[in-house]
Amino acid sequence: MSELHPNNETYVNQQELLERLLQPQPTVIAIEGGPCGGKSTLLAEIERQAEGVNRQVVIIPEVATPHIEELKRAGFTVPELAQNNRPGFLEFQQNILAGIIAEIEAKKDEYKDTDAIIVMDRCDIGAYVTPEENKLILRNLERVISPLHEHVDKIYYLPSVAREDPEKYDRLKHTNTGRYEEAGAAIATCEANLWAVSAHPELHISWGGEFAEKMRRVAQSILQPELEWEIKQSVSHPDAINILEVSEILCMHGIYQSYHELQGQEFRLRKQQSLGARSFFLTIKRGEGVRRTEVQRRITADEYEMLRQVPRLGNELYKTRYTLLDTPDGDGRRRLWNADTYEQPYIPRWHFETDVETEAEADELDLLYKGIRKRVTTSARDLIYID
């Protein structure tokens, strides 16, 4: 592909688009999870840590709460409404989703051209309605995709205590006036919520470990993403994902990605499709090894096509990404991994990546790669860092 002349209209438009995309933009973070997962506690911890962060932090409380309270005052519960008056229940969920969309769009407009962090307690209703009902609600709201995929940049998921300790959940659920599920129902709600958000391309899960430390760690990750890094490992064995100790594969993603350079600025373009939702991203990575950070922007299909015309560095790649959870460790912690397999034969068969917070944690993970290191007879490569 030949370099366009700086006076060419397309070239000018590409340059202006890239410059605009790299200007400050608010980041929308959604906190999702099961009943008694710690969402309210996490929001309080975010507010506490926000005092020491040189960025505007905006909290959007759970939109569903006043709707649930109003329903209670009328003498009903959400499960009763869902079972006995399905049209009324769908109207109830539609009002919640409409409120979610209005809140996000209002805050994004209020804080446009800033690097504000907008944190929302829940951003989707997919865990509570069927896929067909969800599509109907979106059509009624004149939407094609949910705010989860239209507006949210990252999701942090907190599993319900009921999935780890049902007895503890029964003790804790009465401390939350909005809680109504028994342990079994809470587990089902938690699983449905995880499934509903699992296709998001920037999903983060914090599972197990000491509760207060987990809240501190997740809040720091949200407010200071530059302190969280990725560790990546390449494995040549064709059956690595089957040999790895995996208890849940949450989602599969089809990803096209390419690398480009414009006026000395290198960037990555990615088109990602999961469960029918299509997303487009521009990413600029900085730094080396585990200390790399990135600037990522959600872009439109038209912006993606315009930037794809920029001269490419290397070949366009296609890969299948599996988002998976490993088995619990001794502390009950589970780690979210992305496992990528490429169609290109010259690339090692599998690439695994996960978030880490320190180089020490990266070193520890290298030693704890039990699923591969203990079971793959061919040699696995040392840790390498790839784009």
How many whole angstroms separate alpha carbon 308 and alpha carbon 300? Answer: 12
All structural domains of the chain, each given as residue ranges with its CATH number in brackets, are 25-227 (3.40.50.300), 229-373 (2.40.320.10)
Check whether 92 has a pLDDT greater than 90: yes
Instruction: Please write the tens of the pLDDT for every residue from 190-215.
Output: 999 999 999 999 999 999 888 999 99
Quote the CA–CA distance of 43 and 76 in Å, as a whole number. 28
Q: Is the pLDDT of residue 373 over 60?
A: no
Residue with more model confidence, 167 or 269? 269
DSSP single-letter state for residue 126: T
pLDDT, mean of residues 231-251: 64
Q: Please, what is the average pLDDT of the chain?
A: 83
Cβ burial, residue 72 (10 Å; 0-12/13-18/19+): middle
Reference 235, options 372, 374, 386, 377; nearest CA is: 372
Mean pLDDT of 290-304: 83
- 176 pLDDT band (50/70/90 cuts)? low
Q: What is the pLDDT of residues 57-84, one digit of tens each?
A: 999 999 999 999 999 999 988 989 999 9
> Whole-model pTM?
0.86
